[in-house]
Structure 1
Amino acid sequence: MKAPKIQMELKENIFARELFGEDFKWGVSTAAYQIEGGHDLHGKGPSVWDVFTAKSGTILNGHHGNTACDFYNTYLEDIAMMKELGIPNFRFSLSWPRIIPNGTGEVNQSGIEFYNKVIDACLANDIEPWVTVYHWDLPHELELRGGWADRDIISWFKEYVAVCAKAFGDRVKYWMVLNEPMVFTGAGYFMGVHAPGKKGLTNFLPAAHHAVLAMAEGGRVLRQLIPTAEIGTTFSCSYIEPYTTSRKDVVAARRADALMNRLFIEPILGLGYPEEDLPVVKKLKKYYQPGDTELMQFDFDFIGIQNYTREIVKHSIFVPYLNAVLVKAGNRRVPTTAMGWEVYPPAIYHMLKKYSDYAGMPKIYITENGAAFPDVAADGKVNDTERVHYLRSYLRQVLKAKSEGVNVQGYFVWTLLDNFEWAEGYHPRFGLVHVDFDTQRRIIKSSGYWYKAFLNG
């Protein structure tokens, strides 16, 4: 459909799936630790999240993912529910310690069999499986050997990717290597609020560099073993704006943007790290080995971007290295989600435009977008009108970017099921489907029915 017609229909408040084109991909996204449970069943080894959540005070209300949504046992019903909702694509991640319990060495065939059953169930229901190789649940045994801060992680990861490719590559076409490296290195190896709970620049910098190298090497392993695969990787991103037009705030916003939105994608594209706008990353050179500049690059078939909000940034002398601080949405008196994130639909448009401006940028999928609200189940129903409005508003911005020539070719809602939301435990509910975590009862929310109507209308 031609862009002028799309623009006209947007202005006239007409909104339908067909405006995105017949080949546009629609789906939902999940992650293994957040939904599977079965944390110690059938040979699975402990992950860093199993260990981290067992420590007092690390997670809100002492929650953990030992059972989560029990997807390990309910996957058939949940996939059937996706079929009922008319969702054609399902993004899920593989648990490294379920497949290789110690991270390297002996493969757990029970883990392989589980994911084979999930993949086969998807295909039997005409749902395309999209596999994320790594979504944060590093085997604990590898963390004991240094985890992402140890350069050996690159070879450990390549071994794991090869096992996954050989086991599932005959049926899985779409692959994502890493999920949000900025988050698992920043929150896990600098701030210590995510597993494994490490802090400081001396942990973060090597972890970040090794994640970049592993991302590219993982892509090369998949390309070699599954030549016909569509290979991507995903990045978290937030639209950054300065608090004022003062030079200090503008520079602070530029630094925050370099850290949050540019640090991982630019080396993959062959641009190196954004040293000019974020001088502290010059310290990464300490962890370079000969050939790293070339090894950081890989021509992905697609890039997944994951946007939820925007951030307003101002200068601060109290934040080392960055000299910038976020101005909380709650203090700005703007609409927010249950996570305290601003509801700002143009953010996703701006990030699509920003990434599409890179030379050599491949096609883009929105691999996560969604919102947590204080959903309440009453009389077997959940009327989450705020989420419906959120999804519609953000999708309009995706369509706007597409109509202006951005090569965005898909959109995945985060998420199918209310789940374990990392440091926030089970408090924030992002799902299209409500989960009672005591009984594991599922209730499709109004947003789930809206998505069904949108996809099948």
Structure 2
Amino acid sequence: MSSLTFARSAFPDGFTFGAATSAYQIEGHAHGGAGPTHWDSFAATPGNVVRAEDGARACDHYHRWESDLDLIRDAGFDSYRFSTSWARVLPEGRGAPNPEGLDFYDRLVDGMLERGIKPFATLYHWELPQPLADLGGWRNRDIADWFADFTTLIMGRIGDRVHAAAPINEPWCVGWLSHFMGLHAPGLRDIRATARAMHHVLLAHGRSIQAMRALGMDNLGAVMNFEYPFPADDSPEAAQAARTYDGYYNRWFLSGVLKKGYPADVLAGLGPHMPTGWQDDFDTIATPVDWLGVNYYTCKRIAPRPDQPWPHLEEVPGPLPKTAMDWEIYPDGLHHFLTWIHREFDSGLPIYVTENGMASYDELQDGAVPDPARIDYLNSHLGAVQRAIADGVPVAGYFIWSLMDNYEWALGYEKRFGLVHVDFDTLERTPKASWHALAKALRA
């Protein structure tokens, strides 16, 4: 069996190792009184999701959470990054809470603490309650207040026991992927909707941080995703295209939270479509946080498309080895973003790698699941983390995506990111070779 090339002792004292999941991807949204989400509507629309699969059953974590937490404990992880479902807690998005939903997250957090696992909570991982989507969702400025109210409700219940919390997972996916590219719910391809969502997601982030501070909580962070953009060729046009991609993917959200402004090169495209008064929201958006979360998977090759509207670019295939997502494997990109964020934004904040991992074609073989490619991926990316720490970056932890195979959004159940194999017919869990390798490394 392949092994990991590091032991826990190779990282600083107190460095956190964890696994990550999200609510809709594992819980089973049909259970426990959860309300409808825009993901359910998106998946029920032909052509949006592979085989029209949804999260109604997922991994049935709602009923199997105790044995799933045992898998986290037995791997030697310090922490578990989980998310709460807004529609499970508030089926209408507002108004009367669902007692079963609140009780579920109460039990889940207590279960982590009983096993010595630190709870890292994310409040929103993409499953917007459908009644709020009907009111415009992320296009509607009121969502910032709706989200603050949800924050107060759920963290009023579990916030006294979570170790750390962040409002929103990957604002780029909430804003751009979902409203410009149309690949996630609500499935829009509309630049005006995009500009509003890109701003309101940060306004909601700031209001949520304020709501948690009002409850007396600390150790609050911002979790953003990053991709390294290579120009597709040596032309000035390709360099400009890659810079634009970097702007709306990597710089927009960090700049809002840490610099109280948006990149001028992105405003050149989004500016005419921004909501009235957006310039006045940065004091809220930039409400101070205690740490930053970096989600990193891959790089992209960006080619110019001057014949197309702004952003005048397209993604083209690259030469590096690829995962089952057809994503290039580029660990140097993780080192780049850790060092770049620390240097460019000069915040001094601890940085967690809040997601990193790969999908591979994992199959059960004689009761075991060999996944040597994932072990190689973890070795190379943890090596990038070690280099960043040696360069003086205050990296505080590393969370692997994902604990188990799950519902991979528009790609259904066929993309396996897990350390634990899930048979989606029987729901049986089988730890993969990577899980066993991690357990050995973390106990060494």
Q: What TM-score results when the alignment is normalised by the length of structure 2?
A: 0.96
Q: CA deviation at 1:285?
A: 4.4
Q: Tell me which of 307, 321, 328 is aligned to 2:310.
A: 321
Partner of 2:78: 88
Against the structure 1 CA distance between its residues 200 and 456, is the aligned structure 2 distance closer, same or farther, given a 3 Å change threshold? same
Q: CA deviation at 1:355?
A: 1.0
Q: Tell me which of 413, 417, 422 is aligned to 1:430.
A: 417
Matched, 1:341 2:351: no
Partner of 1:34: 25
- Structure 1 residues 224-269: Cα deviation after superposition (integer angstroms, max 9, x where no partner): 2124x20012101011221223211111111010011011110111
- Structure 1 residues 380-402: Cα deviation after superposition (integer angstroms, max 9, x where no partner): 10000000000011000110011
Matched, 1:158 2:148: yes
Distance 1:254 1:310 in 2: 13
- Structure 1 residues 398-427: Cα deviation after superposition (integer angstroms, max 9, x where no partner): 100110001111000000000000111111
Distance 1:346 1:254 in 2: 18
Q: Tell me which of 212, 234, 249 is aligned to 1:260.
A: 249
Matched, 1:406 2:393: yes
Bigger Cα displacement from structure 2, 150-159 vs 319-328 = 319-328
Matched, 1:107 2:109: no
Distance 2:102 2:20 in 1: 20
2:323–2:360 Cα contact (<8 Å) kept:
yes
- Structure 1 residues 81-115: Cα deviation after superposition (integer angstroms, max 9, x where no partner): 21111112000000001101100111111100001
Matches within 5 A, 1:37-436: 37=28, 39-227=29-217, 229-276=218-265, 279-289=268-278, 291-329=280-318, 332=319, 334-357=320-343, 358-436=345-423
Distance 1:293 1:308 in 2: 29
Against the structure 1 CA distance between its residues 319 and 353, is the aligned structure 2 distance closer, same or farther, given a 3 Å change threshold? farther
Q: SS of the residue aligned with 1:81?
A: helix
Distance 1:400 1:301 in 2: 23
Distance 1:154 1:275 in 2: 24
Q: CA deviation at 1:284?
A: 4.9
Partner of 1:10: none
Bigger Cα displacement from structure 2, 290-299 vs 244-253 = 290-299
Distance 1:425 1:93 in 2: 19
RMSD across aligned C-alpha pairs, in angstroms?
1.5
Q: CA deviation at 1:137?
A: 0.7
Give the residue type in structure 2 aligned to 1:57.
Answer: G
Q: CA deviation at 1:316?
A: 1.4
Partner of 1:9: none
- Structure 1 residues 346-400: Cα deviation after superposition (integer angstroms, max 9, x where no partner): 1110111111121225111000000001011111100000000000110001100
Q: CA deviation at 1:283?
A: 2.4
1:309–1:344 Cα contact (<8 Å) kept:
yes
Bigger Cα displacement from structure 2, 277-286 vs 266-275 = 277-286
Q: What TM-score results when the alignment is normalised by the length of structure 1?
A: 0.94
Q: CA deviation at 1:196?
A: 1.3
Unaligned runs of 5+ in 2: none
Distance 1:301 1:18 in 2: 25
Against the structure 1 CA distance between its residues 286 and 196, is the aligned structure 2 distance closer, same or farther, given a 3 Å change threshold? closer
Give the residue type in structure 1 aligned to 2:34.
Answer: K
Distance 2:233 2:117 in 1: 47
Partner of 1:441: 428
Against the structure 1 CA distance between its residues 285 and 196, is the aligned structure 2 distance closer, same or farther, given a 3 Å change threshold? closer
Q: CA deviation at 1:311?
A: 1.3
- The alignment of Structure 1 onto Structure 2 pairs a total of residues equal to 440
Q: CA deviation at 1:72?
A: 0.4
Give the residue type in structure 2 aligned to 1:30.
Answer: T
Partner of 1:4: none
Distance 2:56 2:275 in 1: 38
Q: CA deviation at 1:290?
A: 6.9
Distance 2:263 2:354 in 1: 24
1:355–1:361 Cα contact (<8 Å) kept:
no
Partner of 1:7: none
2:26–2:59 Cα contact (<8 Å) kept:
yes
1:248–1:315 Cα contact (<8 Å) kept:
yes
Q: CA deviation at 1:14?
A: 6.7
- Structure 1 residues 127-183: Cα deviation after superposition (integer angstroms, max 9, x where no partner): 111100010011000000110101110110110000012111111120011100101
Give the residue type in structure 1 aligned to 2:24.
Answer: Y
Instruction: Give identity over the alignment, percent.
Output: 37
Unaligned runs of 5+ in 1: 1-12
Distance 2:216 2:38 in 1: 29
Against the structure 1 CA distance between its residues 14 and 110, is the aligned structure 2 distance closer, same or farther, given a 3 Å change threshold? closer
